[in-house]
Amino acid sequence: MKTCHTCKKNLPLTSFGTRSSAKDGKAGWCFDCARDYHAEYRRKNPELIRAIQKRTRQKNHAQYLAYQRYASESRKKMLASPDGIL
């Protein structure tokens, strides 16, 4: 059991992410608190998030295009199959 630094709840270790620099190898806040924090950060900083996403897409342009082609082909196959399953 470990106490989350944010919500102060005593939770099982499976409720925490990993952090190699921590003594117990677990993050200080639980998954729920981390999710809430990151959602709020994305809501407050949409321009920054868009800029980061754009920079990442440009940096990995070939992989991005390959994924787009793969996803498009998968959708076409799924729509073409009689039961809608690949």
Provide the residue ranges of all domains of the chain, joining segments of one domain with +: 2-31, 45-80
Q: pLDDT digit of tens for each residue in the chain (86 aa)?
A: 999 999 999 999 999 999 999 999 999 999 999 999 999 999 999 999 999 999 998 999 999 899 999 999 998 888 888 776 65
Rounded CA-CA distance 59/24 in Å is 35
Check residue 86 and give its pLDDT: 59
What's residue 83's pLDDT? 74
The Cα 81–Cα 68 span in angstroms is 20
The residues, any chain, with a CB within 8 Å of residue 3's CB and separated by 6 or more, are 9, 10, 11
Q: Say what the pLDDT of residue 82 is.
A: 77
